[in-house]
Amino acid sequence: MSYTGPDSEPPQPRRSPLRRPLTVVVAALVPGALLAWGVYAAVGGPDDAGGGDAEKPAGSSPAPVSGKPSASPSPLPAPGSLKGKVVVIDPGHNPANFQHTSEINRKVNVGTHWKECDTTGTATNAGWPEAKFTLDVAHRLRDLLEKRGATVKLTQDGDRPYGPCVDERARIGNEVKADAAISIHADGSGSGNRGFHVILPGRVHDGAADTRAIVAPSAELGERVVNGFVRVTGTAPANYLGDGTGLVTRTDLGGLNLSTVPKVFIECGNMRDGADAALLTSGSWRQKAAQGMSEGIVSFLRG
């Protein structure tokens, strides 16, 4: 699909102007047809917001995670069925970070070491910033989860001059005792490196960092997010790390080290690769990305 800009949607298909009179027989079939259409619309048709054809990486296909067959899509829970569940969405970086370099460069304690408060994030070669991508996807994901009854909190909503710092991002999820937390990012790797990956917390017990209680549930959350993301977006796990599983474990990220609730990071694609950038800047693909994350989170919360 040709590049249409980061905030635009692909043109919607035109409806046929032809209308034919309904016969008595056809009229009798209308209730069944409407029911079938309702099922189709629930899973996303071409006229849905973000429901257009996804730009699928060449030669990619949904792959099972860790050699296991992907689970069949489970029915979406009824509206309100996640009532009482709390999800924290952490849109990586902040669109205004670049205006506050001294503040985001100050060091904070992430348990195992000291690290910069935050960074500006990466950008596409055309200059569209990761921070705008993450906030857009976070809004889409929030809407999907709230429709299911979950209480959703964002760590930032473009409503502060910079940050929050990585330690505060973790603290926000801890304070609300989130049932699940996800930090949304896009990578800035070399051209030719394609695909998404989900980062899991490794086992850390050092200083203020103690991930021992969240390693297992975070791994489960991560696997479900990977499966949902592959199934809905049609994109493959990263070809440059994770051995094709879409899963990477790290012990150097303060947002994970300081978390006391199940949490993962997702790098949705590589902004520095032209093919991945075409996906990341597509509104319809971002909607599918949010839907894939939502399916994984909902599956995790339902147990």
pLDDT number for residue 303: 86
**Residue among 71, 73, 67, 58 at smallest CA distance from 245:** 67
Are the beta carbons of 6 and 271 closer than 8 angstroms?
no
Is the residue at 280 inside a domain? yes
Is the residue at 17 inside a domain? no
SS3 222: helix
Name the residue with tokens 């693909």. 285
Catalytic residue among 55, 130, 168, 267: 267
Is the residue at 15 inside a domain? no
> What's the number of domains the chain is made of?
1
Is the residue at 270 inside a domain? yes
Q: Which residues of the chain have pLDDT under 50?
A: 1-72
Look up 116 and say whether it is catalytic. Answer: no
- Return d(Cα 131, Cα 123) in angstroms, integer: 8
Is the residue at 39 inside a domain? no
Is the residue at 165 inside a domain? yes
Is the residue at 127 inside a domain? yes
Q: What is the CATH number of the domain that holds 69?
A: 3.40.630.40
pLDDT number for residue 62: 38
Is the residue at 44 inside a domain? no
pLDDT number for residue 54: 33
pLDDT number for residue 79: 61
Range of the structural domain that residue 95 is part of = 59-302
- Return d(Cα 179, Cα 275) in angstroms, integer: 35
Find the DSSP H helices in the chain. 24-43, 101-105, 130-147, 166-175, 215-233, 254-257, 274-280, 283-302
